[in-house]
Amino acid sequence: MKFISKHSEGLHGEIKIPGDKSISHRALICASISEGTSKISNLQESEDVINTLNSLKHLGVNISFENGSYLVEGVGFKGLKKPEKQLYFGNSGTGIRLMSGLLSTQNFSTTLIGDESLSQRPMKRIMEPLIKMGVDISGSKKDTLPLSIVPSEEIKGINYDMPVASAQVKSAILFASLGAEGETKIKEKSISRDHTERMFEYFGADIMFSKTETTLKNTKKFSSQDIKIPGDFSSSAFFIVAALISKNSEITLREVGLNPSRVALLKKLKEMGGKIEVFNQSLFGKEPIADINVKSSSLIACEVKSDDVPNLIDELPILFIACSFAVGISRFNEIEELKFKESDRLKAMQEGLLKMKINNYLDGNTFFIEGMGQNYKSPNFLVETYYDHRIAMSFAIAGLKSSSYIEIASPESIDTSFPEFIDLGKKLGCNFEVS
């Protein structure tokens, strides 16, 4: 497939963003270990989420699709069955880390694998706390995939101070704690996503949480629930930035999840002068949602502090694009975590920005981007995406502000998180061409 993003004269209209990927993973897993049948509406059907769904099926969970929703027949905490083969998670760090926690307390052995990219990502950060709990888990000599989990005699709750704020690590610990003796308490230095905590509470767990501390007490069961998944904010971010940097634009995004631990980008873009209005606020279960209206804006440079990074980590690539069309020099502090995502995203973005003729440089662990303002037009080029969906979509948005076009290498990667991206973009007026 060849994907070219061409200069656009403006975006207009309204769309509904597909379900949140992070919440979709958690909804499937929690429903699978509940007692009773749960109905999940607006589940994101990306490759990442479908790999988690298929893994749960291999573990003996009956999941069917009826009338636009997924029905999950829960088997309880101990009702999973030994899979006949290794569990494959593709490119999904979320899926494999959450499921590692869940499988840590089962009475059978499992092996978890992923694609080439996921197989290079560090797993030591989840292995360390799980091993402290008594879990028999091991990886390669480099602490990467495959992960092997063997039944343990006893798993105990843990008091754990997180070295780095991470929703995936925190969630792995929480899922393991469902089958552990005693309570688990997790402390973080800064806020990270709390989707797992909210989902646990919705399914009936004895859990308390604040911005930086979570306590899970002995929980014997989950009760099935019907779940409506909010629109994915990380997916929305691409079109929010697209409308801001494109002249003569106004768009509305419907039913977007606005979890407080996810909306750092929205706050940052407003600080930069973005014309963004949030309205029609309500709840889907325990998750806040709202509609978002976005208009063309003249942006100014921003500073991202170290405490901002955990809640901006997935949106940093598209924020880099926004800063490229802002006025002034933007500064990003302590963003080394960006090197350990689906690709070395910092390196990939630096390379692409240089092809855009946007000056950027790394000074120690601080990254700088010299913005060129809203009138700037990028030269034409082919961007290497390293098969990373967020790199691909970020430069697709940059292509709307090119002198003619930007060609996106490996556009198939977009299907891992947002297969509807191109079609929804076209609906808004993005000049995307696929051949």
Active-site pick, 314, 363, 388, 423: 314
Q: How far apart are CA 359 and CA 381, in angstroms?
A: 16
Residue in 350, 338, 264 with CA at minimum distance from that of residue 307: 264
Place of tokens 């754990």: 160
Residue environment code for 58-79, b if the CB has 16+ CB neighbours within 10 A, otherwise e: bbebebeeeeebbbbbbbebee
Q: Which residue has the tokens 């292509």?
A: 399
Amino acid at 230: P
CA torsion 215-219-222-227 (nearest 10°) is -10
Look up 20 and say whether it is catalytic: no
Residue with tokens 């003996």: 60
Question: Using CA atoms, how far apart are residues 292 and 279, in angstroms rounded to an integer?
Answer: 6
Q: Which amino acid type is present at position 5?
A: S
Residue 427 Cα distances to 105, 321, 342, 431, angstroms? 46, 21, 28, 10
- Annotated catalytic residues are 314
